Amino acid sequence: MRSDAALALAITALVLFLLANFSPLMAIDVGGRGQSVRLGSGVAGLADHDLAPLAVFVLAISILAPLGRVVALGYVLFRLRGAGRPHHLAPVLRFAERMRPWAMLDVFLIGALIALTKLHDLAAINIGVGLWALGLLVVALAAFDMTADRRALWDQVSPPHRLSKQPSPGSWLGCRECGLVQPLASHCTRCRARLHQRKPQSVHRCAALVVTGLVLYLPANLYPVLTVISFGRGTTATIIGGVSELMTGSDWPLAVIVFGASVAVPLLKLVGLGSLLLSTRLRWRRRLADRTRLYRLIELVSRWSSVDIFVTALLTALVTLGNLATVEPGLGILAFGAVVFVTMLATESFDPRLIWDAAGANHV
Ligand SMILES: [Zn+2]
């Protein structure tokens, strides 16, 4: 019953996804000249301005990852209705799980609403069917995540085996992909993922990525993220400049969101992960649970720092009215995109179990 509802929600999400892709999200009208954008327009807008790496990143997190995840999960749910359990269902489900942190349509929706607010003073704006479809899509995906029980899904794809003998402490291992607890081996017996007691090279990889993020954080904040050109005059805006601009109007709730997403979250990731690495290295034994909670918080909010990337991508694609008004992305947004990407990888590569290992609280 539950999986029927999940399948219905996956199909609904697919239909809404097509609608959001092929109907305009919003359109502007300045002095009789108009322009509209769809879900993928931001990707094209960034690519047109020689920001191909950022365009690829936006394509991945706003289209490929959410679409791939829904199609993969819908397929698994559909095949589970039949009698057979084909072997390829496990890798398909694993693929869907890997796409999960990178699927950011909810963040995109907030980005679209901020872009709308920013354009309010500049031009007449019409909200299109695509934006309503995107809103409903985000709701459908949230309902889908609440309905589809991932643990039950894995059990249906391949039921866990009963262990023949009780393993000794320290020889148990939980698979990071499907969650199955099993005796130590090179590969998971259920999903065939490689098994590691701890994420490989966790501290080194995370430290290298945090340092890279810190280095990129400077140009991300010093260079303009976008330039508004109107009647031959250009005004540039940095990330902080964009926040203070929103602050001066009546849009302070949006200013708080943009400040949180673009300034506070990247800093929390860099400083937070840095402090976790340092405290693990120094083998601190205090506040183990608090530090684990800090990691979970970083994991939870990490993706929200993409908001400004979506805002810039949409504005770049929408405001292309020649001399009248044009928005061009700046180098700052490329560096900022790199900060988001690198810090997401850093968050993923840190293994919070190392906090407990370093304090001698684990049997490893
Ligand atoms: Zn597994």
Name, in order, each residue with C-beta under 8 angstroms of 80's C-beta and a sequence gap of 6 or more: 3, 89, 153, 156, 157
Strand partners, 33: 30
CB atoms inside a 10 Å sphere around CB 167: 14
Give 153 Cα–ligand 1 centroid separation in angstroms: 13
Both tokens of residue 186?
């090179």
pLDDT over 60 at 152, yes or no = yes
Give 179 Cα–ligand 1 centroid separation in angstroms: 6
> What confidence category does residue 364 fall into, taking pLDDT thresholds of 50, 70 and 90?
low
Polymer length in residues for the chain = 364
Quote the CA–CA distance of 90 and 93 in Å, as a whole number.
5
- Per-residue pLDDT, averaged over 162-172, amounts to 69
Give 193 Cα–ligand 1 centroid separation in angstroms: 6
> What confidence category does residue 182 fall into, taking pLDDT thresholds of 50, 70 and 90?
confident
Half-sphere exposure of 73 (CA within 13 A, CB side): 32
Tens of pLDDT, residues 190-227: 888 888 888 889 999 999 999 999 999 999 999 998 88
CB atoms inside a 10 Å sphere around CB 117: 17
Paired sense of beta strands 26-30 and 172-174, if any: unpaired
Tens of pLDDT, residues 221-265: 999 988 888 777 888 888 888 888 777 777 778 888 888 888 889
Name, in order, each residue with C-beta under 8 angstroms of 276's C-beta and a sequence gap of 6 or more: 291, 294, 295, 350, 352, 355
Name, in order, each residue with C-beta under 8 angstroms of 91's C-beta and a sequence gap of 6 or more: 191, 192
Residue type, 168: S
Give 91 Cα–ligand 1 centroid separation in angstroms: 10
pLDDT over 60 at 72, yes or no = yes
Least confident of 21-30, 32-41, 156-165: 156-165
Tens of pLDDT, residues 330-359: 899 999 999 999 999 999 999 998 888 887
C-alpha torsion 226→229→234→236, nearest 10: -10
Give 18 Cα–ligand 1 centroid separation in angstroms: 32
Q: Assess contact for 49 and 319: CB atoms under 8 A.
A: no
Paired sense of beta strands 26-30 and 33-37, if any: antiparallel
Which uninterrupted H or E stretch holds 297? Answer: helix 288-301
Q: What's the chain's Rg over C-alpha atoms?
A: 23
Per-residue pLDDT at 311: 92
- Per-residue pLDDT, averaged over 290-303, amounts to 93
Per-residue pLDDT at 326: 85
Name, in order, each residue with C-beta under 8 angstroms of 19's C-beta and a sequence gap of 6 or more: 129, 130, 133
Per-residue pLDDT at 1: 59
Least confident of 39-43, 55-59, 215-219: 39-43
Quote the CA–CA distance of 334 and 175 in Å, as a whole number.
36
Per-residue pLDDT at 292: 93
Give 276 Cα–ligand 1 centroid separation in angstroms: 27
Per-residue pLDDT at 60: 95
Least confident of 2-11, 116-125, 142-151, 212-221: 116-125
Give 319 Cα–ligand 1 centroid separation in angstroms: 47
Give 175 Cα–ligand 1 centroid separation in angstroms: 5
> What confidence category does residue 105 fall into, taking pLDDT thresholds of 50, 70 and 90?
very high
Which uninterrupted H or E stretch holds 241? Answer: helix 239-248
Q: Comparing 85 with 5, which gets the higher pLDDT?
A: 5
Burial of 8 (0-12, 13-18, 19+ CB in 10 A): middle
